[in-house]
Structure 1
Amino acid sequence: MGQAREVMDRLTAALTTAKDIHAVAECFAEDALAVTPDLGELRGREEIVDYFRQIMAAMPDAAYESVRKLEAGDTAIDEGFYRGRNTGPLELPSGELLPATHKEVRIRGVDLVTVEAGRIVEYRLYYDQLEFLDQLGLLPELPV
């Protein structure tokens, strides 16, 4: 196992098993870049950690089911399912808070990290936002 895989596994454990935001922060370089489907580019450890803090608060019982793990050089890639119950408020990109829906979600996603000197310098997350919102019951009913 290489450095990229070790750091990716530490990040996943910090987010879903240990639920330790300080351990999440330790995974990222101070000037890291993250790209997410909901907020776009996040620059710097502080913005990235705040993003994960909000997710952890919205879904405190979250778990991760791995489907596939890959590593090539300084990059690790994970495909899997993020699942949990939404028991905390969800913060929208506008800053508005949506109350908890108390619904279960199970979303397939892909995470990619690039690691230098033992820390993530670039993080990319891909998941279907419409599927996530639908499972939360936040999409309007479509006419039949």
Structure 2
Amino acid sequence: MGQAREAMDRLTEAVTTNQDAEAVAELFAEDAVALTPEAGELHGRYEIAEYWRRMTTALPDARFESVSAYECGDTAVDEGYYSGRNTGPVRTPDGRTLPATQNAVRIRGVDIATVADGLIVDYRLYFDRLALLEQLGLPPEPSS
């Protein structure tokens, strides 16, 4: 197993099993960039860790079910299902906080992490944002 696969596996564990925002931050380079469906582009390890902290607050029992996992050079790719029950507040990208819906969610997504010197420098997360909102029972945000 290479550095990319190891970093991706540690990220999955930090986000699901341990729900440790500090451990998430330590996996990313200080100037890392992440792209997410609902929060857009995130800059730096602490902004990325905060994104995952909000997700794990909303879904404290979150788990990841792998469909496929790849590593090619300095990049790891995971495809699978992220699921859990929404028992914590949902913080929207515009800063609003919505109460927990108690709904179960299961969304299929893909994570791509590029690693340099053992740290994630580029991270991309893809999932169907509308499916997440529908499963939470929340209306989609109006387009601007």
Name 2:66's counterpart in structure 1.
66
Distance across 2 between alignment mates of 1:90 and 1:18? 19
Name 1:11's counterpart in structure 2.
11
After TM superposition, the structure 1 = structure 2 runs for residues 78-97 of structure 1, keeping only pairs within 5 Å, are 78-97=78-97
Which consecutive unaligned segments of at least 5 residues does structure 2 have? none
Q: Report the alpha carbon displacement of residue 139 of structure 1 after superposing the two structures with TM.
A: 3.0
Deviations 1:10-64 (A, max 9, x none): 0001110122222111110000000000011001111111111111111110000
Distance across 2 between alignment mates of 1:47 and 1:22? 11
Q: Report the alpha carbon displacement of residue 65 of structure 1 after superposing the two structures with TM.
A: 0.2
Percent of pairs with identical residues: 63
Aligned residue type for 1:102: Q
Distance across 2 between alignment mates of 1:138 and 1:65? 24
Q: Please say if 1:101 is aligned against 2:70.
A: no
After TM superposition, the structure 1 = structure 2 runs for residues 1-144 of structure 1, keeping only pairs within 5 Å, are 1-139=1-139
Distance across 2 between alignment mates of 1:139 and 1:131? 11
Alignment TM-score, normalising by the size of structure 2: 0.95
Which one has the largest radius of gyration? Answer: 1
Distance across 2 between alignment mates of 1:96 and 1:22? 24
CA RMSD of the aligned region, Å? 0.9
Secondary structure in 2 matching 1:76: strand
Instruction: Give the aligned length.
Output: 140
Aligned residue type for 1:113: A
CA contact (8 A) 2:75 2:113 kept: yes
Aligned residue type for 1:29: A
Q: Report the alpha carbon displacement of residue 80 of structure 1 after superposing the two structures with TM.
A: 0.2
Q: Detail structure 1 runs of 4+ shifted over 2 Å in the superposition.
A: none
Distance across 2 between alignment mates of 1:113 and 1:49? 14
Which consecutive unaligned segments of at least 5 residues does structure 1 have? none
